[in-house]
Amino acid sequence: MEILDPLAESAMKTVKINEISNVNTVSLVDNTKPNADIILKTIEKFLEVKKTLWVRKPAGAPANEKQIKNMEKGDLCILAVGDCGSCTTWLILDAIKLEKRGIPTISICSSKFKNFAENLAKAYGAKNLRILDIPHPIAGKKKEEIKKEVKKIIPKLNKLISQQK
């Protein structure tokens, strides 16, 4: 049996991945998937920044222009969570849109969808898009389990933010 990958090789222009620097405000993007809010609240608690802004968008659709403009108010945008095909697709495409508009991003996906997210980003010319993962599944886990898993990526997250200042 042959399994085909729906992500084709593309000749798209390379998307510049913006440096993270001088982060005072972070936009936290909740795509309304179960536990996305817990992931972002846990991240918010441990972020070494002055201010956070919250933006909500639907999981299975692109962010609209108003939502994108609100996301752009941060010096960095953290998007969560990609844990299925359609929500991961739109999470990554929204991150790419923000990168094209000059806003650095970090996307949070489940471990089962990280490779898909990376391949999608690469297919759209953003092969170095910053994507962190937490163990799959995300939906159906208790709040404390999610917090425990998110705390494990906080050092990586803060390193991404601080190493480029």
Sequence-ordered list of residues with C-beta below 8 angstroms from that of 141, at least 6 positions apart, any chain: 35, 149
Model confidence, pTM? 0.92
CATH number at residue 126: 3.40.50.1700
Give the chain's domain count: 1
DSSP character for 110? E
102 lies in a domain? yes
Give the model's pLDDT for residue 3.
72
Give the model's pLDDT for residue 29.
99
86 lies in a domain? yes
Give the model's pLDDT for residue 165.
46
Q: What is the domain extent for residue 59?
A: 25-162
Name the residue with tokens 């956070």: 52
7 lies in a domain? no
Q: What is the mean pLDDT of each run of 10 residues along the chain (165 residues)?
A: 66 90 96 98 93 97 98 98 97 99 98 98 97 96 98 95 69
3 lies in a domain? no
84 lies in a domain? yes
94 lies in a domain? yes
Distance of alpha carbon 75 from alpha carbon 164, whole angstroms: 13
Give the model's pLDDT for residue 8.
59
144 lies in a domain? yes
6 lies in a domain? no
CB 31 within 8 Å of CB 60: no
